[in-house]
Structure 1
Amino acid sequence: MDHGSPSQEHVSHLALDIGGSLTKLDYFSRNNECSNGDNNEEKSCSKESLLVSNGDKKCPVLQGRLHFAKFETSKINDCLEFIQRNQLHLGGCQHGGAPGNEKRIIKATGGGAYKNADLFKEKLGIFLDKEDEMDCLVAGANFLLKAVHEEAYTYIDGRKEFVQIDRDDLYPYLLVNIGSGVSMIKVDGDGKYERVSGTNVGGGTFWGLGRLLTKCESFDELLELSHRGNNRVIDMLVGDIYGGMDYTKFGLSSTTIASSFGKAISDNKEIEDYNAEDVARSLLRMISNNIGQISYLNALRFGLKRIFFGGFFIRGHAYTMDTISVGVNFWSKGEAKALFLRHEGFLGALGAFTSYEKHGFGDSIVRQLVQQSPLSASHAGYKIHGPLNGEWNDNESIECSVYVN
């Protein structure tokens, strides 16, 4: 992401999702300059250069970027400094009071929006208008699944395959959001949902136990360790119990994990004899398997065929996705597949972002994000698009257009 300082009049609608482990933010910024077209005859400017229909109205289109960034919540001051340095809060909505004395309102969600409200007011002079966390998660997921051409995908045996979602046949589905803990939400429509289950064994568990067991200083460092590890050194497999054989009566292959960390009680090794890489791999496998199994059982409970997984625990990490996919496939006997989201970690922040429209704040309400791609000329519904051929990265921005009221 560009860490320059966009002019405040070109920034609008900063939104925050302050979780227990990570703080996520997004905001829209208009292009500061005109850029030449391919033939030097066409230009794309920050000024309104196109009108699109929105019912009986004509709405101006602005060119710009939708930016995303994340920070560790334990280092919330890094987020505050980033907002201050880039003057993101100065382009927010103003509400009430005499001219010059209006409150600057920023949409925020997550438990940290309550915990850190005074800090944001003291350091930046802004008021956090708090949106319900579950409302935002669902709104963000619906936003993406309806808007983005290639948002949902499966990951099986190392292969990513995008799944086309029919926006008219989206509901119901199970949304599994894996943050510090895990929430499982049955979504029946826009604003219609029920939290049906969850587990306290989630991303915070992986990070916390991993830090205790491996001395890693960050979530990403722990993930990198797991990438280099071999869980079979520590996990007890069916084959370890049955002399290398499958347990065919119940369809259990010899490589199925019978007990996570089970070998640690039978090996004549000291704790320091185990490699941190293998410990991290076993831990990731245990938590991912558990989430995959509980998710499918809840989908089965409500007769749901689609399970979407989001949250920054996944991070587009191949082994995590593969483990969850294998778990869902195993317990469903191949009838269900795990579906992942490209913008997995920003569901809550996007939900908070779209809530500006719901509450009618500001003079320039974001009505629609339109992907800049010849593949779509549609102006119906929200549109947002990241790189077609690249992986989603942290602290990234994407080209987009918006039409406004």
Structure 2
Amino acid sequence: MNGFRLSAGAIGVAAMLALTACGSGKSVDGGDETGADGVKHGPGVTDKAIGVGMITDLTGPYAPLGKSISQGAQLYFEQVNKDGGICGRTVEPQVRDMGYDAQKSVGAYTELEPKVAAFAHFIGSATVGAVQDRIAKSGPLTLVLAWSPQMLGSERIQMTGTTYAVDVINGVDYAVEKHGLKSGDKIGHIYVEGDYGVDSLAGSTYAARQHGMTVVEQKVKATDADMTSQVAAMKSEGVKAIVLSTSPKQTASAVGVAAAQGLKVPFLGSNSSFAPQLLDTPVGPALTANFVVMQAASPLSADLEAMKKLAADYTAKYPDATLDNGVMAGYTTAAITGDALKLACGKKDLTREGIIAAHRSQNAWDGGFGGTMDFTDVNQPPSRETHILQPDKASAGGLKIIQEASASENAQKYEIKIG
């Protein structure tokens, strides 16, 4: 998800709320108890229940995905509870909408932090960034749906898949192989300001340099809707491919404008750039013809039993909802959270430190969703592999695999810089 710089007012609110929380007398390091079953537990856990938080976007620019993410996670925990819960306790999901606003994220985190054992998801680099120091210092295990390298380095914060930059490197290497890009060519990159765009641009710049190519870059704001001038600039420069690290609506504009202007080049979209609803718009045919998505996670259409069951269960639970990548993302991060809780239960330690230690002990998590993730190194993403996906209206979630997950040589050797 893309981000934005906090205003002085937002920083002030964050600081004030942080001081309020610190002065509340609630300590994540103190107050641990041992239940009647001999299980130690900390904040968010009682003898009967485990609180799990979700901070999402239900009213902002990523609202469609945010809804799917939250519903996917709620489906997982509902199924867990039907099977008896975790450690003999009912899991109680608590969802808060922050509308992709940093100040609202601070408020949501401040409210939920004392009440939950973990955050099954927290959407957005900038929104997580508003409370990142607090999470890193004393917060619970937090699964973030943000792929900036700034999310690395803390045992308490866990991204899934890989960084924006690594996805883009794999995508550019795919374009070189499949579309014949060569030394001396130019590739375009339209990217939204903030961590999302900055790290994606780092990836395209690195990959282009490895192939003797150059990048024509165009930065846009999250609120920009019309990509006409950006596409015109790309056309005038004679680019051979265009990377899009944008919102879905911006992607639709860029691909649609290019089709109208007769610019027939491949488009490579970062993992937050697409929503299947776009296939029902006039730009749908152009997306199907010239656009691919670079994404670490398997799509809903993957030939995996776990994915087929998820699609069927979600459709049964939410018959009027759209199947999209948010469903898979929410369910998967919930499953990662659930597995950490189960492992911690096995150690009879549902304190925050116990849950985090259990989670970080896993070096090959799969969950049946394809591709393994290593959670043991806090300074590295859990994977460097990327799927190449093509929009397809007939496929579950609107995407089909055209290249299975893999990590190019350039992606493997790319040095990820934290901070």
Q: Find the structure with the greater CA-based Rg.
A: 1
TM-score by length of 2: 0.33
Higher helix proportion: 2
Task: Provide the TM-score with structure 1 as the length reference.
Answer: 0.34
